[in-house]
Chains A and B, each alone.
Chain A
Amino acid sequence: MANTKEIQDRMKSIKDTLKITNAMYMISSSKLKKSKKALEATEPYFYTLQSTMSRILRHLPDLDDIFFRHTEDISLEERRVGYIVVTADKGLAGAYNHNVLKLAEEHLNNCPNSKLFVLGELGRHYFEQRNINIDQQFHYTVQNPTLNRARNISETVLDLYMENELDEVYIVYTKMVNAIQTETEFLQLLPLKKADFEVPSLPGGIPVEEIQFRPSAKVVMDQIVPDYVVGFVYGALVESYSSEQNSRMMAMEAATKSAKDMLHELGILYNRARQTAITQEITEVIAGAKSQKNKK
């Protein structure tokens, strides 16, 4: 059995770690509160944007537009794909980063000709270590997302897309499903796919409505698609930031709890070891006294 000193040292180090995890828990829970507020404010915009866009696309006449490029006929090996990958700046957030990176890597393996736009220090290190080519000039933090940052990010990607240096653009981010559950999402940003928004077959007799575009469908789409991308990136950033804080809070909560459990078990072990030591000492004293008595 380990001696009391060893157990005490162990308990002390666990207590120190416990202090850290507890503090991190507190920090991330207060950050989560803030980011949840931002998320709540953004959600109407984010969801309306998606539903409106799908509605528009459903009613859009066939357009010969850069945003509706057909990329199916380009083989996977030759397709130039851009990925926006939203990770965290720091680890210790449970499986949050791992899930994003795993999903991104899965798709990377399919398309060798890809370009990565990684948000967050952790993701950047991950891909650098694996010698995967990432855009070095693309340096943004994921803390406290702002619209301005979303605008810059989308501009970089849109420029490359418009100059025909990228065929497709995807985004990998983490979505808050509900208050406690998060889910990693993989979505195609560009080109817009009309097939994604297939009209469910209408019951007979209902006329298919039509939407007009002013000044023209092409001009309207050219104007609103960049805005759509900015809005989408912003929404994704807010969702990811919230998810990150949520995962970190849960991971830290679990760590604090298991540290407490360990301390409890070690406490019992410590008491037992101490008791053994005392018992042994008493036995020794008694044995000594007995032998003295016998000498007389």
Chain B
Amino acid sequence: MKIRKFLAIALAGAMTLSLAACGGSGSAGSAGSGSGNAGGGSESAAGAGESTAEVENVVVAIPTFFDVKDAQMVADAINAISAEKYGVTVTLEFIALGNWAQQTNLLLTSDEVDVLAFYQTPLTTFIKNNQALPLENYVANASDEFKAVWSDAELQGTSMNGHIYSIPNLRNFGNIRGLDIDENIAAEFGIENGQHMTMDEVSDFLYAAHEKYPDRYAIVPQAGSSMVSGWTWDGLGDGKFIGVLEDCGQDLTVKNLFDTDDFRDFCSYTRKWYQDGLTMADALSNTEDGKNLIRAGKAVCCLENYAVDTAEGCIRTIIIDPWAVSNSYAELSYGINTNSSKPDAAWKALEMFYIDKDICELLTNGIEGTHYTVNEDGTTTFTESDGYQMAAIAWVLPYSGYAHPMAANGPTYFEDLIEFNNSCAKSKGLGFAFDSTSVANQYTACCNVMDKYYTAIMSGTVDLESTIEQANAEFEAAGLADIIAAKQEQLDAFLAAQ
């Protein structure tokens, strides 16, 4: 009896211990992997003959669309250079876009991440939550190479109240709005790549194409239920468009989007298309990408925003010339976590991503021979390995301007991109970001109203006048006027300060 009791207690104790050990080994495991990375870094540093004590390891979080299996291999290659040259090593954390907002929010509560992309959530929110470390002192003391990458005016785009909170990354800051058309059908109708079209010409083409290809949708949403991402209105740092500037940000009066001529013009076209059966009937429940539908032979064309990139199987026309919205620089930028325990090392790592050509090449393309090969014209082709294909989404990386472009994008892709950014028209509110704190309740309520109607009206699935009337009544009740007044006031103050 006694023995049994003893055994039972011993077993229970063992269970407790093993459970505790499970928890323990879990955290020890992750800590181990962390220090393993750091160890890898310091090893290479030791190899380079540097004292290991000075090399600090920085965790960098980068959004991705796919699994990056060889992240550690690339990080090791970067560290082999950076440990000696900059005194830092990096751990690259690639986080899938679907989990990005949640996971970075958690990472930001501690110092588990040092450098990260401010993405998906507006930069102003990160600033308001005190998640982004002000960088102006670092920028002021930065190397000349760094200062050559971004002008002071450009850094205004990621600043607020005189503090620089993040560094823009290299991608297209402006967008052309145009029509992507199936290349074969475009050829039949004599429409060429890069051709300008008015909305009336688009409309004529759609009716003609519908007649000739009745089995295809003449036009489908750009992606999901969204007819097109943005148009000629500027939300002033607010992707929900609660209070906008019309006319590509050239008109400085903040207005209700639904009352602007730009919006009503656009929607009068899409409404007519929908009523005449040109638009996909289930546009609001669509989950497909428009270009995929075109390539699959289900659709003729879709509206699109783009810069210098091309779309396989489609030609691209221009309806609205390239222009940049006011928060274009802040939409995706890299900064430092306020809770980082080593901000100085974090800055060194951030800076080297923008100035070191070899590191940029590694971060963009991976390791030559393993992940890509360089063609004769200086473009790259992926190898069989799919371990590192960030080049396909180089626009999420800090800076790829020094890297070899992919063959599909052409040999002068990055030069073209930088040229495109310099030449495209900019909203007069460029650099302004609306702070919704003072009208937070109204803003939440108006966002709900906007979510309710925006995509539906844009796609033409509902009657224009009656729905706008209904929406405006709800906007009024939700306090849109307060938001517009606050936005106008902040914008005027911003413009006066310039």
Do A and B pair up? The answer is: no
Which positions in A face B, CB cutoff 8 Å? none
Interface residues of B (CB under 8 A from A): none
